[in-house]
Structure 1
């Protein structure tokens, strides 16, 4: 954007020299003043200089205000585009949810998704394979089991404490080949610490609250009379709170 704005601003500092004012060197500029012996001419020359610099200052202020206003318009337009995109995604997700079930209760689903999020992460931290088998799909279960086995081999223990979950929302939903998938975004604050067999801290900080942002995908068979949503994909990032 900076390049585009700069290209649109007229070049003020590179105006063509005015033959009545500018000279090729400082000495020539002094000579012009000294050669103009008529006081009236000198006054006129000074007046022209004053008018020139006044106009130059006004033009610079005008350009500055124009630049600021254009930046504000560009920012507002970008925000409108972003808002429209988010609204469009939300509408598409709602349409997909209605295809899953005309009576689909989004609030109830999100409440269940929030409970599942915390239960799955606690089961993962506690190496509770039995609970994970009921809540996650084969691929996610395989990845979780490999990590749990690695912790056991290293004789490490993962401590996970939930402080709060700030956000649970649907960001996408669709139905394909009889399978409904709903993508949920979570934002939560946790304390995560990995300890060794002698209780030394291997990773994390027991006094640090960390913000976790996860995007999880849940799936179920649309023809099933009892909908059993399973976690089939995970994607996450971690930020210091």
Structure 2
């Protein structure tokens, strides 16, 4: 009799363990589907600490399909490319990422530097923080302002190689406020930098 009781107890424990494992498995599947759905969807479900809720709501009203994470990833990559292209004097690259007025300002700065025979050395270390700080309606979508905090190594050399600005051995922090707007010539929701400023 006692053996039967012990066996029943073990059987109950096994059943409970199986039910618990099954529940965890179902929850894991649901979680995986939710993660996959979120990754594949452009619907913003909630704001994160990288965007003010009121700003998030304004963007949603303008563009319900806006994906904050996807946008910030692209904006951060554009920030890095633009800084490196500016240092290298690559106008072809800048032309694809900057709105005409901003492009003109960059062109003038590059021309002035080259007229003095100076070269700009820049090493992009990484972005420490990127967050959306403002948004408003614009032609074709929304104009979104992003605050960047990044680390770079930067130095300007004279024609004879002497350092005239910066330090090639020191990492410095940059704080910039850039505004991105929809590219009117694009059919796939591309963005252009429409304004730059120090944060």
Structure-1 residue corresponding to 2:132: 170
- Using the TM superposition, give the Cα deviation of residue 101 of structure 1 relative to its aligned residue in structure 2, in angstroms: 2.2
| Residues 179 and 196, structure 2, Cα contact 8 Å, conserved in 1 | yes
Long gaps (5+) in structure 1: 1-86
Give the C-alpha shift of residue 179 in structure 1. Answer: 4.1
Q: For residues 103 and 178 of structure 1, do their structure 2 counterparts lie closer, same or farther at Cα, with a shift above 3 Å needed?
A: closer
Contact kept? 1:173, 1:183, Cα under 8 Å: yes
Do residues 220 (structure 1) and 171 (structure 2) align? no
Structure 2: stretches of 5+ with no match in the other structure: 1-48
Report the count of equivalent residues: 150
Q: Which residue of 1 aligns with 2:52?
A: 90
C-alpha displacement of 1:103: 2.0
1:152 to 89, 114, 131: 114
Cα distance in structure 2, aligned partners of 1:173 and 1:225 = 21
1:219 Cα deviation (Å)?
0.4
Q: Does 1:231 align with 2:187?
A: no
Q: Find the residue that maps to 1:169 and give its secondary structure.
A: strand
C-alpha change, 1:199 and 1:221, in structure 2 (3 Å) is closer
Q: Partner of 1:116: helix, strand, or coil?
A: helix
Residue 187 of structure 1 pairs with residue 161 of structure 2: no
Q: Distance in 2 between matches of 1:214 and 1:135?
A: 16
Q: Quick one: which of 94, 98, 121 aligns to 2:83?
A: 121
Counterpart in the other structure of 1:107: 69
> Once the two structures are superposed, what CA deviation does each residue of 1:150-209 show, in whole Å capped at 9, x if it has no partner?
111100000111122100110011114544100000001111100011111011011221
With over 3 angstroms needed to count, the CA separation of the structure-2 counterparts of 1:177 and 1:111, relative to structure 1, is closer
The Cα shift of 1:223 comes to 11
Structure 1-normalised TM-score? 0.58
* Aligned CA-pair RMSD: 2.0
Runs of 4+ in 1 over 3 A off after TM superposition: 176-179, 221-225
> With structure 2 as the length reference, what TM-score do the two structures score?
0.70
Higher-Rg structure is: 1
Bigger RCO of structures 1 and 2 (CA < 8 A, at least 6 apart): 2
Q: Going by fraction, where is helix more abundant, 1 or 2?
A: 1
